[in-house]
Amino acid sequence: MRVLGIETSCDETGIAIYDGERGLLADAVYSQTAIHAQYGGVVPELASRDHIRKTLPLIRQVLDHAELTATQIDGVAFTAGPGLIGALLVGAALGRSLAWSWNVPAIGVHHMEGHLLAPLLETPAPNFPFVALLVSGGHTQLIDVQAIGRYRLLGESVDDAAGEAFDKTAKILGLPYPGGPELAKLAERGDATRFRFPRPMTDRPGLNFSFSGLKTFALNTLQQELPSAIDAEQTRADIARAFEDAVVDTLVIKCRRALRETGHRRLILAGGVSANQRLRERMNAAISAERGEVFYPRPLFCTDNGAMIAFAGWHRLTAGQYESLQFTPRARWQLMDLPPV
């Protein structure tokens, strides 16, 4: 079965084709970052307006690239939530209608299931069961994954998501939107020993996170240090480093704990923050020290993309799951509410 995937949940238009036998045949992402940068964040109406311009041309481009004609697509998968409702509606309406007109089945995919399954697109792919750490702009969740659709929430952020904390702290440091990757770049020049930020909620049992205090800590540190700083740029870099170290350490501590609690050996990371280099290094070191294994998507598939939607959709469509003749995207939608395949 060959599935066309459509992702429009936020500020990226992602289109891909996944083939059950040949794997990924084509993948294209168009990012709206430049449109939203001047506002310091995603403007939902502008995002929707751009998706309606970009989605269909990207679909044609991907079909051409894969040298496929329409009749060679056996199913359509579109992101049905969670995300910005107006943005979701564009991909959902287009995808559902495309499938209707092609007379093939369609499936609404959970965006976070897309992220969660993205490491399975790589070789070697992890076997089930495993612990998944979803770290993105809107989510920080630890999940016990028994199989596709069999998810148990182990812990999550009680306030800001890790990516959100990266972005907000980047803003405090005066970095352009989207701040996560920029902050990581600045942190490379930072002195890890100058400041030490707290590792929130690691001193007590449990697998929940709290990241909103770290941005306040960064702000306070910046306000304290800047007036007397000889080298303001270095101070910013040092704060970026201290922040990144604190987030990374916290994630590592909780992942190790989650593996111990579940007894699983395999850990997968997914979502935008899993592209972070320091996180990958420290996680690899910590988990391999315990004879565990860590899996990631390729950096391109950490952030939003169509490949993960095509792939997740393929799994559900081949299991015989599909939508009736309607599209009902949801801004909010719990991963744990998904049915097993």
Partner 1 sequence: MKLLAIDTSGDACSAALIFDNSIEQRLEIAPRRHGERILMLMQALLDEAELQVIDLDALAFGCGPGSFTGVRMATAVIQGAAFAANLPVVAISTLAALAQGQFRRGGQRHVLTALDARMGEVYWGCFTIDNNDLAVSCAAERVCAPSQVALPKRADWFGVGSGFNAYAPELSSVIGHSLHGIDPFAHCEAQDVAVLAAAAFDAGQYVSAEGAMPVYLRDQVTRCQ
Interface with Mg ion by CB under 5 A: which residues? Answer: 136, 304
Site string for ligand ATP, 122-161 (x = CB under 6 A): --------------xxxx----------------------
Q: Is 303 in the site for ligand ATP (CB under 6 A)?
A: yes
Q: Is 304 in the site for ligand ATP (CB under 6 A)?
A: yes
Cα 220 from Cα 103, distance rounded (Å): 58
Phi, psi of 267 (to 5 degrees): -125, 135
Nearer to partner 1, 220 or 326 (CB): 326
Question: What letters, b where the CB count within 10 A reaches 16 and e where it falls short, cover 112-147?
Answer: bbbbbbbbbbeeeebeebbbbbbbbbbbbbbbbbee
**Run of H or E residues at 75:** strand 75-81
**Smallest separation, CB 161 to partner 1 (Å):** 24
Pick one of 36, 51, 96, 111: the residue that binds ligand ATP (CB under 6 A): 111
Nearer to partner 1, 48 or 318 (CB): 48
Q: Is 235 in the site for ligand ATP (CB under 6 A)?
A: no
Q: Is 238 in the site for ligand ATP (CB under 6 A)?
A: no
Residue 318, Ramachandran bin (φ over 0: left; ψ between -120 and 50: alpha; else beta): alpha
Cα 62 from Cα 68, distance rounded (Å): 9
Cβ-proximal residue to Mg ion, closest one: 304
**What does the binding site for partner 1 look like in residue numbers (CB under 8 A)?**
39, 43, 45-46, 48-49, 52-53, 55-57, 59-60, 70, 85-86, 89-102, 325-329
Cα 28 from Cα 5, distance rounded (Å): 10
Pick one of 273, 286, 287, 317: the residue that binds ligand ATP (CB under 6 A): 273
Nearer to ligand ATP, 140 or 221 (CB): 140
**Smallest separation, CB 163 to ligand ATP (Å):** 3
Nearer to Mg ion, 177 or 322 (CB): 177
Residue 83, Ramachandran bin (φ over 0: left; ψ between -120 and 50: alpha; else beta): left
**Smallest separation, CB 172 to partner 1 (Å):** 21
Q: Is 163 in the site for ligand ATP (CB under 6 A)?
A: yes
Nearer to partner 1, 86 or 297 (CB): 86
**Smallest separation, CB 79 to partner 1 (Å):** 13
Cα 72 from Cα 69, distance rounded (Å): 6
Residue with tokens 């991963």: 335
Nearer to partner 1, 89 or 131 (CB): 89
Q: Which does 139 bind (CB under 5 to 8 A by kind): ligand ATP, partner 1, Mg ion, none?
A: ligand ATP
Q: Strand pairing partners for 151?
A: 145
Q: What is the dihedral of CA 322, 325, 327, 332, to 10 degrees?
A: -50
In sequence order, what DSSP letters do the residues of 252-298 get, joined into one string?
A: HHHHHHHHHHH---EEEEESGGGG-HHHHHHHHHHHHTTT-EEE---
Q: Where are the strands (E) in 136-223, listed by range?
A: 140-147, 150-156
Q: Could you give the angle at which helices 179-187 and 232-262 cross, rounded to 10 degrees?
A: 110
Nearer to Mg ion, 167 or 304 (CB): 304
**Smallest separation, CB 155 to ligand ATP (Å):** 16
